[in-house]
Structure 1
Amino acid sequence: MLGPVMASAGFPRAFLNSRPDGLPTIRAEAPDPRKVLADLTKSHEDFKASYDARFGDMQAAYDGLQKQLAAAGMQPGTDLSALPVDPEYTRTFANWMRRDDGEQELKRANASGERAVIRTAMSSGSNQDGGYLAPVEWDRQIHKALRLESTLRNVCSVVSTTTGGYSTLWNLGGWGSGWVGETANRPQTTTATLAPITFKAGELYAQPAISQNLLEDAGLPLEDWLATEVADEFNKQESVAFVSGDGVNKPQGFLSYFGTTTTLHPGGEPSVTNSGAAAAVTGDGLVKLVYALGARYRANGAWLMNSSSMGAISQLKDGQGNYLWQPSLILGQPPTLIGKPVYFEESMPDITAGAVPIAFGDWSRFYVINDRVGTSLLRDPYTAKPYVLFYTRKRVGGGILDPRAVRFLKIAA
């Protein structure tokens, strides 16, 4: 029969059963536990190896990031916007500033397979002017320095635009309303009248000259130093313009709105409170100034004055002999006057008869600074040989948003 034949052919007898007709019946055998365990073990090892490889890649990337942070002198959790955008980007820009050999740097980068899309970024955006749009590294350093040094940029509204100016609308009022009975007619009410306000951007520039020898031999980070110097000069010019600029090729300073009624702003000019004493500031005058301001502006109110005015005010006392001015005991926090923070702006006028040297109110609602996006840089090695000129320019505007948001103290004659 087939059973003995298949058995003799090597089939295990456990797989064979004889049927009545003599044909074999194949019976399934239970799986070997040792083989199942081996298969499971192998599958686990394969998964573990794959996981370890992927985790190793993640760890390598994390370690690389930590090294970059350490190289930049930063700790984890630091604002990553302070990191260099790209080492190749920064190095090429530095070489371009010193020797204008960025093209050679690009060829070297291309030959080594590194990223080299740098020259395009430096030459885009203002080709029609023959200049170069400053790399992000340059632009960011300048704005960072301005933010740290400019008082008005810290307290006023700052907007960036991609056009030549910033426009908004002023509501002249006129919304009508009224009480009515349940079934009474609802006549039409008056609607608001809107007036546009436009703040045009003026142009601010600096053009430092550096000898070619100094550019080649300087051992300091030249781009950092030059950016700081330009930012300092921009800061001085901006501060004066935001306070007293006449709006001609520059921002409209808030002091220039006095005496113009509605010609500069449809809401009129800022309001003033009399100081209460001839050519001097009094405590009563300061208190009156605070509470003459609308309550909705008083909540976020802050003082603005120069150091000379603050020196005079710091000597004022209340009826109990307490100083109205309180120095701050917390690092980074401004001093207070009548419980409100005090900010210093040296472009504000001194205390003299007829001047408005002190102001109080909500500055974020009072004044807007409009930054035209981008700072441009033109390297000129030809005009003033053997000096290289770095013509840096930016466009910035400003003006009053809401004249009621800040009130000024006018010194009595």
Structure 2
Amino acid sequence: MTEAARAHAPEVKAVPDTVTAAFEDFMQAFEAFKEVNDRRLGEIEQKLSSDVVTRDKVERINRAMDDQKKVLDQLVLKKARPALGHGGEAGPEAAEHKAAFDAYMRRGEEAGLRELQAKAFSVGTATDGGYLVPSQMDGEIGRRVSVVSPMRALSTVRTVSVSVLKKPFATAGLSTGWVSETASRPQTNTPSLAELAFPTMELYAMPAATQALLDDAAVNIEEWIAGEVDIVFAEQEGDAFVRGDGTNKPKGFLAYTTVADASWSWGNLGYIATGAAGAFASSSPSDVLVNAVYALRAGHRQNATFMMNRKTQGEIRKFKDADGNYLWRPPATAAQPASLMGYPLAEAEEMPDIAANALSIAIGDFRAGYLVVDRAGVRILRDPYSAKPYVLFYTTKRVGGGVQNFEAIKLIKFAAS
């Protein structure tokens, strides 16, 4: 790469037209980043400090990589969205439900849905707060959310028909022991069980449309509703699964009591301190990442994923191992995540920035550690009266979540101890 090309590398390019072009731009930015960061590290070794121009250039390229990654993520998300109207429900009953739902959405005609749901002995009547959307649309919202929200994609997801899911968990197994051939066999202790409860909370959105839009036969009402709802649902869910306080929302894993990993006990999440308040340690800063990985048991470590926001990732991107290799590696393809020390890295903007005592990095087997509970069905209530001339669509779903295995997730705390 020429000096002229390097000088322009930090600048964010125009939005590419394809995923391939966006991925190529991202990889070119990473190569420029490595070259300038290597220069910065060389200056530190020679002069014990780096040139301010070099530091600024590293940060500009770092920010450019983040911007290009956002563009790439948006293009991958758009490509991942399946076309509506293909697959899903099939058969005459599905077509009848879809037609009745469309009539309700466009004109407020309830007779068709009342008849269908009466036949199915459904409790989803207007008196209960709306009608169930067709199962094809319900699935579409779920698929899009799973792409947008990293926690939903990484966690175990259970669909239930009740308001609270209760799950027993064995916190300790049977006691065992060695005995000689003729020795007595004392009774062993029974396993310890804990009951975990995961209530579902109501998540809602209320998009509005003019009657002219609803009268337009060319407008796909299901696609419009899904497009309005999926991103806002994903944002709210993602935030709750990470840092929700459990009051009228799921409880995020950062809301649980945290203790130093050496003092870990069931019901708490263990953390490893960086050794410096609000920063990585000045000497061997990446050691805390290694310590966090090996704080997990082997069974969880092999399925582990790092989780942090983009700013934290930008700091870690500068780290090298003893052999001079970067710990952070770009994705092999556009649809794959970046990796850190060989483990997948999930970007969650809900994770806190680096600050004193912040729990800015998590690593764990989230499928074993966190449970997302979906109550079956997304409901829509049509309201043509409250905001004339607009028609409101009160769309709700019930979601819960919480930690189900406290030893499967570890945190990194930016603190001295």
TM-score tier (shorter): 0.7 to 0.9
Structure 2 unmatched runs, 5+: 1-81
User: Could you tell me the TM-score, scaled by structure 2's length?
Assistant: 0.71
User: 2:414 aligns to what SS in structure 1?
Assistant: strand
Letter in 2 for 1:213: A
State the 1:298 CA deviation: 0.6
Q: Cα 1:387–1:279, aligned 2, differ >3 Å: closer, same or farther?
A: same
- 1:81 is aligned to 2:88: yes
Deviation readout 1:240-281 (Å, 9 max, x if unpaired): 1101111111101111102599xxx98221100111334223
Structure-2 residue corresponding to 1:297: 300
Structure-1 residue corresponding to 2:269: 270
Q: How many residues align?
A: 326
Structure-1 residue corresponding to 2:377: 374
Q: Cα 1:183–1:290, aligned 2, differ >3 Å: closer, same or farther?
A: same
State the 1:341 CA deviation: 0.8
State the 1:346 CA deviation: 1.1
Letter in 1 for 2:88: S
Structure-1 residue corresponding to 2:98: 90
In structure 2, how many angstroms separate the alpha carbons of the residues matched to 1:122 and 1:186?
A: 58
CA RMSD of aligned residues (A): 2.9
State the 1:327 CA deviation: 0.7
Q: 2:398 aligns with which of 395, 398, 403?
A: 395
Report which stretch shifted further, 354-363 or 121-130.
121-130
User: 1:81 aligns to what SS in structure 2?
Assistant: coil
Structure-2 residue corresponding to 1:216: 215
In structure 2, how many angstroms separate the alpha carbons of the residues matched to 1:346 and 1:269?
A: 23
- 1:363 is aligned to 2:366: yes
Structure 1 unmatched runs, 5+: 1-71, 108-115
In structure 2, how many angstroms separate the alpha carbons of the residues matched to 1:175 and 1:198?
A: 24
In structure 2, how many angstroms separate the alpha carbons of the residues matched to 1:259 and 1:404?
A: 12
In structure 1, how many angstroms separate the alpha carbons of the residues matched to 2:291 and 2:394?
A: 48
In structure 1, how many angstroms separate the alpha carbons of the residues matched to 2:399 and 2:180?
A: 53
Q: Cα 1:309–1:201, aligned 2, differ >3 Å: closer, same or farther?
A: same
In structure 2, how many angstroms separate the alpha carbons of the residues matched to 1:87 and 1:148?
A: 27
Report which stretch shifted further, 310-319 or 400-409.
310-319
* 2:328/2:338 contact within 8 Å kept: yes
In structure 1, how many angstroms separate the alpha carbons of the residues matched to 2:271 and 2:407?
A: 10
* 1:125/1:132 contact within 8 Å kept: no
Q: Cα 1:275–1:368, aligned 2, differ >3 Å: closer, same or farther?
A: same
In structure 1, how many angstroms separate the alpha carbons of the residues matched to 2:341 and 2:89?
A: 37
In structure 1, how many angstroms separate the alpha carbons of the residues matched to 2:252 and 2:404?
A: 12
Letter in 2 for 1:275: T
- 1:335 is aligned to 2:338: yes
Structure-1 residue corresponding to 2:320: 317
User: 2:378 aligns to what SS in structure 1?
Assistant: strand
* 1:195/1:266 contact within 8 Å kept: no
* 2:307/2:362 contact within 8 Å kept: yes
Q: Cα 1:375–1:121, aligned 2, differ >3 Å: closer, same or farther?
A: farther
User: 1:303 aligns to what SS in structure 2?
Assistant: strand
Structure-2 residue corresponding to 1:100: 108
In structure 2, how many angstroms separate the alpha carbons of the residues matched to 1:260 and 1:323?
A: 30
Q: Cα 1:82–1:353, aligned 2, differ >3 Å: closer, same or farther?
A: farther
Say which one has the larger Rg: 1
User: 1:341 aligns to what SS in structure 2?
Assistant: strand
Deviation readout 1:82-107 (Å, 9 max, x if unpaired): 8798444333322321112465xx69
Deviation readout 1:96-121 (Å, 9 max, x if unpaired): 21112465xx69xxxxxxxx975657
In structure 2, how many angstroms separate the alpha carbons of the residues matched to 1:131 and 1:73?
A: 26
Letter in 2 for 1:356: L
* 2:89/2:135 contact within 8 Å kept: no
Deviation readout 1:210-259 (Å, 9 max, x if unpaired): 12222223743132012121111111111111011111111011111025
In structure 2, how many angstroms separate the alpha carbons of the residues matched to 1:123 and 1:223?
A: 24
User: 1:246 aligns to what SS in structure 2?
Assistant: coil
Letter in 2 for 1:150: S
* 1:366/1:400 contact within 8 Å kept: yes
State the 1:386 CA deviation: 1.8
Letter in 1 for 2:226: A
In structure 1, how many angstroms separate the alpha carbons of the residues matched to 2:362 and 2:83?
A: 41
In structure 1, how many angstroms separate the alpha carbons of the residues matched to 2:321 and 2:258?
A: 34
In structure 2, how many angstroms separate the alpha carbons of the residues matched to 1:257 and 1:176?
A: 29
* 1:122/1:134 contact within 8 Å kept: no
In structure 1, how many angstroms separate the alpha carbons of the residues matched to 2:386 and 2:120?
A: 21
Structure-2 residue corresponding to 1:286: 289
User: 1:412 aligns to what SS in structure 2?
Assistant: coil
In structure 2, how many angstroms separate the alpha carbons of the residues matched to 1:195 and 1:155?
A: 24
Structure-1 residue corresponding to 2:124: 126
State the 1:80 CA deviation: 3.8
Letter in 2 for 1:100: G
Q: Cα 1:406–1:225, aligned 2, differ >3 Å: closer, same or farther?
A: same
User: 1:125 aligns to what SS in structure 2?
Assistant: coil
Letter in 2 for 1:355: A
* 1:276/1:284 contact within 8 Å kept: no
* 2:117/2:124 contact within 8 Å kept: no
In structure 1, how many angstroms separate the alpha carbons of the residues matched to 2:187 and 2:221?
A: 67
Letter in 2 for 1:378: L
User: 2:375 aligns to what SS in structure 1?
Assistant: strand
* 1:245/1:253 contact within 8 Å kept: yes
Q: Cα 1:196–1:247, aligned 2, differ >3 Å: closer, same or farther?
A: same
Q: 2:388 aligns with which of 375, 385, 392?
A: 385
Structure-2 residue corresponding to 1:183: 182
* 2:258/2:270 contact within 8 Å kept: no
Letter in 2 for 1:99: R
Report sequence identity in percent.
Answer: 42
In structure 1, how many angstroms separate the alpha carbons of the residues matched to 2:317 and 2:89?
A: 38
- 1:167 is aligned to 2:166: yes
